[in-house]
Chain A
């Protein structure tokens, strides 16, 4: 897998002379924990501390953290809406921090898209003009950009509301406009900063489903910010958990559930229904031999396996996407995996 976006040792520190102080501290020591402690003692605020991760092409990378954990700061550093204090942001191998203002604007015009928690729509423009705004700043002609905006509005299911003013729309619809706008320039990297947090729970659920459907079509490389662990589980290919400016753990949902790196992560995963997170592949016993029992797919979630197992009452075979046998899964193994949550 190729990495589209790469964040290397990113720091963001607030306070008087923050950047210079950080530079001096980095020159003295390599232990991020010590440095952060030093800075905090010096009345500086460390919003992001030595954050590193990679996002591969077509992946949904979710950064999950509670308020004040630094997740919003990180996603803004990724597009230089906030200037990072230290570190490197590579997009397709080019360092964002080395770019001039002009280059940065070009990058935002063609490669990046972003969706905001409170939508960030322009109140004086209608739906269509809002979606067309990123094309307008590029200098695209009126007819061409409205054509393109119309496609986007249709894509997010708002066809027929093109001339509505923003005030007339519900929160869910406004966010659809936000999504359409961020996709209008066909970005490669798509940032979503708590896009569904301001919506009602039912609408949120619906938007999550539609987001997944959209992504299965578009295959963008996504950084998705949320404070909702359930949302992270539903959407993520991989999750990074942040706390006090630091990434505590990065992994798939199953990784976090099966081996939380510290108590903080465990506190989130404790109440997660494991059968809905774990897949056959996570707990199977590997082996290529055929067994005389029905087989299940490796990526199948346990809740569906359990139903089958209740009927068969014995171990089942496991096959990969091409139908090749790759192992087996036993009732004992399933029970053990599910029981761990109670331990």
Chain B
């Protein structure tokens, strides 16, 4: 009873966020409190966040893990042993098949899934992989994917069905899925490493874990979306619960479930590639990682392209089947098709027996222009150096450093032209105050608050800002957009980070992610607007977005590190590249799905194109655009951890250190810190967008 009352209260606060007046009051209160803290800070009060953990959460996890490992290691090693068999078989089978047959079968699959164009793409992609000599490594990667996917699909289907049928199962499953998708891969790979031991099975298990959530979500979605008429007609036909599930609900939702399979395949592939560098399997992921570490950029680009191509081929093929595949024609045409393929396989096999070079691709025929590429890259970096170094220096000194350590610590004569002094502080304050007042006059007090907060962080830096201020502002933001429950989650998450000694790391990561999001969103939204206004731009951008979206996260590091070498700026570039797509997509989609009758009404009133965009379309598309921003933030936070590989500091770095020391506790807690930041941001933006859509009366 009490529980029901509590949920009722939660839904009520969610349905009606604070009224404008109380919202203003709330912000006034929050800013006053923040100012008070800053005043104390100014007179020398120390608000340093604890550098060491105050609560033994990480140690407890490590101890528990040690105990668990001590008792159950044998069982997990047995699983490892068990999984090694199918992994080995798949790899051997893939490698034993002559390469022309591999190309033929993939192409045939591509044709069935998406017609001639996809078939052609498959031929080109596979020829590239074979000719560059990467097929054996690719086969190792594919073997892991082939074992991980059925595993994830089966588990995902089972969990999805269970969650659909039972409300209480669902309430447990959903937050777990959120965590599984937001805790960085590198954190949970540590306990997996400890349990299963180094080897290909680590990647297998880890990628299965990462690949299960999209399957569960899509199964749930598919079952929920079955029209009620269809379910009722199934019931009235006298179906039992099982008949209803297998004969009515699952087949009706098949398209959505297949999209889940597609996402599962992509997730598994993405993780297998990353896992290679911890698992130490000689596959394509390890090749990219090693060449990148040794600064052999030509090689890493060549092998990175292999990953991108596999991702694109598997994505297009699975998605093609999810959308029903290609209609070849009647049974006789199918028979002809398969007959033709079968005959070709036999002919190729016979040829391969005669000509060994058709069996295994000979090394002598390998096309491998790495040296030339390195030279070209050298030339490019040298030529572009003035531009790239200026870009880097400007961003780092004027944007990243102040937001990280604050103006007092970062203003130096060498770059700024003057040293930090009270005068500078005063000038800065005057400029900031002017901007705040201007914003207030032009856009209302919300804009003024936003400017004030940003100016504060620019001056003090995320690291220099006293932690109570951060907590106050974040909680106020959560309270005013999402209501009490979300504010509470935000508060608890930040306190968790604080008491676990993760504050500094979290602030550095947030700073990097925030600047990455800023650029990704500005560029992405602009491109999205352009694409919404211009069909030709849209046609050009769509395949680019598709490609970027299928690329495993790891691939994005390659171009960034080639041009900018190791450092935080490289991490920033990788973050922008990785996180830009949703901003483009959602902006275009939001603008294009503004109700046409509203656009027509605006045109009838005689608005110009720009007026219509700024006064009608953008405000109406804003909730959708914010959902794109949300996705961008999620992806940026994911990249922040991976970018530790190319020099990002913060939580990602801590996770990597924990990984090297096989310290499950620290690794998981740092990962959890990232996940908590991601989840609270997600909740705040989602509830804002939902509320805004409701206000605008958009479904």
Task: Show the binding face of A for B, using Cβ within 8 Å.
Answer: 16, 76, 79, 81, 105-106, 108-110, 112-114, 116-125, 133-134, 136-138, 178, 181-182, 185, 191
Q: Which residue of A lies closest to B239 (CB)?
A: A137
B interface majority secondary structure: helix
Query: B232–A106 contact, CB under 8 A?
Result: no
| In the complex with contacts A118-B227, A118-B229, A124-B251 CB distance below 8 A | yes
Query: B247–A137 contact, CB under 8 A?
Result: yes
Query: A116–B232 contact, CB under 8 A?
Result: yes
Q: Which residue of A lies closest to B250 (CB)?
A: A124
| In the complex with contacts A124-B251, A181-B233, A134-B4 CB distance below 8 A | no
Query: A137–B251 contact, CB under 8 A?
Result: no
Closest 6 pairs (CB-CB, A-B):
A109-B238, A120-B233, A120-B229, A134-B237, A108-B238, A114-B236
Q: Report how far A178 CA is from B236 CA in the complex, Å.
A: 12
Q: Chain B, 228-249, contact with A by CB distance < 8 Å: what is the 0/1 string?
A: 0111111111111001000110
Contacts of B227 in A (CB 8 A): 118, 120
| In the complex with contacts A120-B230, A121-B230, A133-B236 CB distance below 8 A | no
* Known A108-B238, A120-B234; further 16 A-B contacts with Cβ < 8 A: A108-B235, A109-B238, A114-B232, A116-B232, A118-B229, A119-B229, A121-B233, A124-B251, A124-B252, A133-B247, A134-B237, A137-B238, A137-B239, A137-B243, A137-B247, A185-B237
Q: Which residue of A lies closest to B235 (CB)?
A: A81
Tell whether B254 is near chain A: CB-to-CB under 8 Å: yes
Query: A114–B233 contact, CB under 8 A?
Result: yes
Contacts of B248 in A (CB 8 A): 122
Q: Report how far A57 CA is from B229 CA in the complex, Å.
A: 27
Say which size band chain B's interface belongs to. Answer: 20 to 34
* Cβ distance A329 to chain B, nearest Cβ, rounded Å: 46
Contacts of A16 in B (CB 8 A): 4
Identify which of B227, B236, B243, B252 gathers the most chain A CB atoms within 10 Å of its CB.
B236
* Cβ distance A82 to chain B, nearest Cβ, rounded Å: 10
Q: Which residue of B lies closest to A184 (CB)?
A: B237
12 contacts between A and B (CB under 8 A): A108-B236, A110-B238, A116-B229, A116-B232, A120-B230, A120-B233, A121-B230, A122-B252, A123-B252, A133-B234, A182-B236, A191-B236
Q: Which of B644-659 contact A (CB under 8 A)?
A: none
Query: A81–B232 contact, CB under 8 A?
Result: yes
Q: Chain B, 207-227, contact with A by CB distance < 8 Å: what is the 0/1 string?
A: 000000000000000000001
| In the complex with contacts A120-B227, A124-B252, A138-B232 CB distance below 8 A | no
Q: Report how far A138 CA is from B238 CA in the complex, Å.
A: 8
* Cβ distance A332 to chain B, nearest Cβ, rounded Å: 52
Contacts of B235 in A (CB 8 A): 81, 108
* Cβ distance B226 to chain A, nearest Cβ, rounded Å: 10
Q: Which residue of A lies closest to B233 (CB)?
A: A120
Query: B252–A109 contact, CB under 8 A?
Result: no
Query: B232–A105 contact, CB under 8 A?
Result: no
* Cβ distance B250 to chain A, nearest Cβ, rounded Å: 10
| In the complex with contacts A117-B229, A118-B229, A105-B240 CB distance below 8 A | yes
Q: Report how far A108 CA is from B254 CA in the complex, Å.
A: 26
Contacts of B238 in A (CB 8 A): 105-106, 108-110, 134, 137-138, 185
Query: A122–B251 contact, CB under 8 A?
Result: yes
* Cβ distance A183 to chain B, nearest Cβ, rounded Å: 12
Query: B252–A81 contact, CB under 8 A?
Result: no
Query: A112–B252 contact, CB under 8 A?
Result: no
B4, B230, B236: the one within 8 Å of A79 (CB): B236
| In the complex with contacts A16-B4, A122-B252, A124-B251, A181-B229 CB distance below 8 A | no
Q: Report how far A119 CA is from B234 CA in the complex, Å.
A: 11
Identify which of B230, B232, B233, B234 gathers the most chain A CB atoms within 10 Å of its CB.
B233
Q: Report how far A114 CA is from B243 CA in the complex, Å.
A: 18
Contacts of B254 in A (CB 8 A): 124
| In the complex with contacts A124-B251, A124-B252, A133-B237 CB distance below 8 A | yes
Contacts of A138 in B (CB 8 A): 238
* Cβ distance A203 to chain B, nearest Cβ, rounded Å: 19
Query: A137–B240 contact, CB under 8 A?
Result: yes
Q: Which of B254-308 contact A (CB under 8 A)?
A: 254
Identify which of A118, A120, A137, A191 gathers the most chain B CB atoms within 10 Å of its CB.
A120
Contacts of A105 in B (CB 8 A): 238-240
Q: Which residue of A lies closest to B244 (CB)?
A: A137
Q: Report how far A118 CA is from B230 CA in the complex, Å.
A: 9
Contacts of A124 in B (CB 8 A): 251-252, 254
Contacts of A79 in B (CB 8 A): 236
Contacts of A116 in B (CB 8 A): 229, 232-233
Identify which of B237, B243, B248, B252 gathers the most chain A CB atoms within 10 Å of its CB.
B237
Q: Which residue of A lies closest to B230 (CB)?
A: A120
Contacts of A182 in B (CB 8 A): 236
Q: Report how far A243 CA is from B235 CA in the complex, Å.
A: 28
A113, A122, A137: the one within 8 Å of B230 (CB): A122
Contacts of B239 in A (CB 8 A): 105, 137
Q: Which residue of B lies closest to A125 (CB)?
A: B251
Q: Report how far A106 CA is from B234 CA in the complex, Å.
A: 13
Contacts of A76 in B (CB 8 A): 232
Q: Report how far A134 CA is from B254 CA in the complex, Å.
A: 21
Q: Which residue of B lies closest to A79 (CB)?
A: B236
Q: Report how far A120 CA is from B234 CA in the complex, Å.
A: 8
Q: Report how far A226 CA is from B247 CA in the complex, Å.
A: 30
Q: Report how far A119 CA is from B251 CA in the complex, Å.
A: 17
Contacts of A123 in B (CB 8 A): 230, 251-252
Q: Report how far A202 CA is from B453 CA in the complex, Å.
A: 64
* Cβ distance B251 to chain A, nearest Cβ, rounded Å: 4
* Cβ distance B637 to chain A, nearest Cβ, rounded Å: 39
Q: Report how far A112 CA is from B235 CA in the complex, Å.
A: 11
Contacts of A133 in B (CB 8 A): 234, 237, 247
Q: Report how far A105 CA is from B231 CA in the complex, Å.
A: 14
Contacts of A137 in B (CB 8 A): 237-240, 243, 247
Contacts of B240 in A (CB 8 A): 105, 137
Q: Report how far A38 CA is from B526 CA in the complex, Å.
A: 56
Contacts of A119 in B (CB 8 A): 229, 233
* Cβ distance B613 to chain A, nearest Cβ, rounded Å: 38
| In the complex with contacts A122-B248, A124-B252, A112-B230 CB distance below 8 A | no
Q: Report how far A121 CA is from B248 CA in the complex, Å.
A: 10
